[in-house]
Amino acid sequence: MRNAGRRVRSSLLPIVQCAVGAGLAWSIAHEIIGHPRPFFAPTAAMISIGVSFGTRLRRSVELIVGVALGIGVGDLFVSQVGTGTWQICLLVVIAMSTAVFLDGGPVITMQAASSAVLVATLIPPSTGGSGLRMIDALVGGLVGIVVVAAIPLHPVRRARQQAADILDVMAKALQQGADGLLEHDSEKIKAGLDAARKTQAPIDSLRNTLEGSKEIIRISPLYWNSRARLERLRATADPLDNAVRNTRVLLRRALSSVQDDEVLDPRLIQQVEKLSQAIEVVRKMMLADPGEQPDAAEATRVLRSVGKAATKDLVDGAGISAHVVFAQLRSIVVDLMQVCGVRRLSAMALLPPTVPHPYVTPID
């Protein structure tokens, strides 16, 4: 129930946007334009807004194109062969094939098919409603864009929370990895690895949110002053993704070391634990408002302390697993420094020099 409530709260504003957009689109199409059944107006408004917080402008255009294509194909087809079971089957094939032939996206393809079916069943072309239906779609799409601009989601807050959630998973996974290495417990490491493997979907969602945020800032004057902050946040997506990938590699090799009875230097294990603690600082930094602590400088300082302690004596005479864990630890530090705004070359320069293991390709 808590998770369900959290999902509803996080989607409450998009739900309100859809409700307002649907009602407003219906009112304009019905009261001003005079269409008695403006089905496509509220539908277009809801699709153009979308609860998923994605690229709404493109969806609005795709919807309008799909409706126009479906109505056009439906009108032409029904006027020639009429309606019926086989006609509807063939009509769907023609409408969807036409959309795909025109390189239409999934919204265009499905909307073309559904619009064509509606033309053939509910509102045949003989009623003269095809032009109004295209106007309804246009009205709904434009209303959706206006609602998004007038009642916008915060373009940065949602992305910050998503990034912080990913960092939280990373920190806990590395802590489990450190505990498993110290206790020689493969199950603990595997649990951390399983959690880290599930982060790809949240990272993809973060990227989608960042694209939606860029669109919000472009169309909503309320958040034009957030452009610089959003750009800084967008710059963290790739290094954060890299940090998660390197975390998975580290944990996979940590698991192999336990399964192969390879004992790692306790000091190296301690650095894995300290990296977990440093990631927690980065997570708090991600959620902090401007002027609050910890800021990027503090998070960088903590990460640098972990990097400076990752010296080559931690893996002197060790096997390949230890060298991989060591290399990935250093790589994660570099990735997270980039999340904090440090350039990659500058972050690498802060690490102590090391000689790579002959069987390990340098990561950083």
Closest CA to 163 of 299, 47, 254, 48: 299
Rounded Cα gap, residues 74 and 121, in angstroms: 10
pLDDT score at 126: 52
- Residues 285-291 have a mean pLDDT of 87
19 and 127 inside one domain: yes
Report how far apart, in Å, the C-alpha atoms of 62 and of each of 21, 57, 106, 111, 141 are.
Answer: 18, 9, 9, 9, 10
Residues 202 and 305 grouped into a single domain: yes
- Does the pTM surpass 0.75? The reply is no
From residue 195, alpha-carbon distances to 161, 172, 190 in Å are: 18, 9, 9
Lowest average pLDDT, out of 128-137, 145-154, 260-269, goes to 128-137
Neighbours of 184 (CB within 10 A): 13
Name the more confident of 290 and 104. 290
Q: Using alpha carbons, list the distances in angstroms from residue 222 to 31, 102, 107, 156.
A: 30, 37, 29, 13
**Single residue among 117, 150, 183 that ends a domain in this structure:** 150
Share of the chain above pLDDT 70, in %: 87
Domain that holds residue 271: 157-349
Per-chain mean pLDDT for the chain = 85
Same domain flag for 281 and 184: yes
- Whether residue 247 is found in the same domain as residue 130: no
pLDDT of amino acid 77: 85
Q: Give residue-wise pLDDT tens across range 35-55.
A: 888 887 898 888 777 654 555
Same domain, 144 and 176: no
Q: Any idea what the CATH number is for the domain that residue 342 is in?
A: 1.20.58
Mean pLDDT comparison of 16-30, 73-87, 238-252, 278-292, highest-scoring range: 238-252
Residue 84 lies in a domain: yes
